[in-house]
Chains A and B, each alone.
Chain A
Amino acid sequence: DGGITQSPKYLFRKEGQNVTLSCEQNLNHDAMYWYRQDPGQGLRLIYYSQIVNDFQKGDIAEGYSVSREKKESFPLTVTSAQKNPTAFYLCASSIRGDTIYFGEGSWLTVV
């Protein structure tokens, strides 16, 4: 099936620890995105990538890092510099300039 796969669905992070959320798509989309959603809130853009080996910061990039070594993959690392990482994270992809499609999301909780 074509789609966007995020893993893990649930992740727990200890204080001072870096964690990585995986995002893989087989839709042959050039552009990929990471969004953060806090309870009762809309979506905020963390990072986006329009092409392999290139990415740009979104509205709330501080404390996060990404890589885009392959067209299909766009992992997000939540670093220890992110002081309030507990949230729901959504990965998305699109043909440039058109509809954005989303993965099922990942819950990150600090313990």
Chain B
Amino acid sequence: AQTVTQSQPEMSVQEAETVTLSCTYDTSESDYYLFWYKQPPSRQMILVIRQEAYKQQNATENRFSVNFQKAAKSFSLKISDSQLGDAAMYFCAYRSARYDNDMRFGAGTRLTVKP
């Protein structure tokens, strides 16, 4: 089974600074998607960024960007110019492009933003 590992249960960043959240995954497939979701205190899961495995270019969404290293099976999230509203749980997720039921989530990283 595919696994997703987030090795940082908690992270902290000063407002306006940059923070990187780590994620590694295990798969034998070549075609898949990777995601970062944000879960604020409201508990809704909000899509932050999406990466297609066959694309070498790293995805970016405004202040959010990823460092996708396919060979190393690493998918880190960089948040630039951190804002108080970025405080949340962040989940890394893997989804097979072939098998609909195969989506795995990491255990999450709780991000605190200090004013």
User: Which residues of A are interface residues toward B (Cβ below 8 A)?
Assistant: 31, 33, 37, 41-43, 45, 48, 50, 56, 58, 88, 90, 92, 96-105
User: Within the assembled complex, what's the spacing in Å between the Cα atoms of A68 and B78?
Assistant: 39
Q: Residue A31 contacts which of B42, B96, B100 (CB distance < 8 angstroms)? A: B100
Listed by A's residue number, 10 A-B pairs whose Cβ atoms lie within 8 Å are: A33-B103, A42-B108, A43-B91, A50-B100, A97-B97, A99-B33, A99-B47, A104-B42, A104-B44, A105-B44
Q: Can you name the residue of chain B whose Cβ is closest to the Cβ of A51?
A: B100
**CB-based contact A45/B101 at 8 Å:** yes
A48–B101 CB distance below 8 A? yes
Instruction: Please name the residue on chain A nearest to B52 by beta carbon.
Output: A98
Known contacts A43-B91, A96-B100, A100-B95; can you find 15 more A-B pairs with CB under 8 A?
A31-B100, A37-B43, A41-B107, A48-B101, A88-B43, A97-B96, A97-B97, A99-B47, A99-B50, A99-B95, A100-B93, A101-B47, A102-B45, A104-B44, A105-B44
Taking the nearest CB of chain B, how far is it from the CB of A103, in angstroms? Answer: 8
Q: In the assembled complex, how far is the CB of residue B64 from the closest CB belonging to chain A, in whole angstroms?
A: 15
Q: How far is the CB of A21 from chain B (nearest CB, A)?
A: 14
A interface: dominant SS: strand
Assess whether A97 is in contact with B98, with CB atoms less than 8 Å apart: yes
- Nearest CB in chain A: distance from B114 CB, A: 22
Report chain A residues within 8 Å CB of B106.
42
Shortest distance between the CB of B61 and any CB in chain A (Å)? 13
B51 to chain A, nearest CB (A): 11
Question: How many interface residues does chain B have, given as a range?
Answer: 20 to 34
Q: How far is the CB of A106 from chain B (nearest CB, A)?
A: 10
Among A41, A48, A50, A97, chain B packs the most CB atoms within 10 A around the CB of: A97
Contacts of A48 in B (CB 8 A): 100-101
B47 contacts A42, CB within 8 Å?
A: no
A23-B100 Cα distance, complex, nearest whole Å: 19
B103 in complex: contacting residue of A37, A45, A90, A103, CB < 8 Å: A45
**A contact residues around B37 at 8 Å (CB):** 102
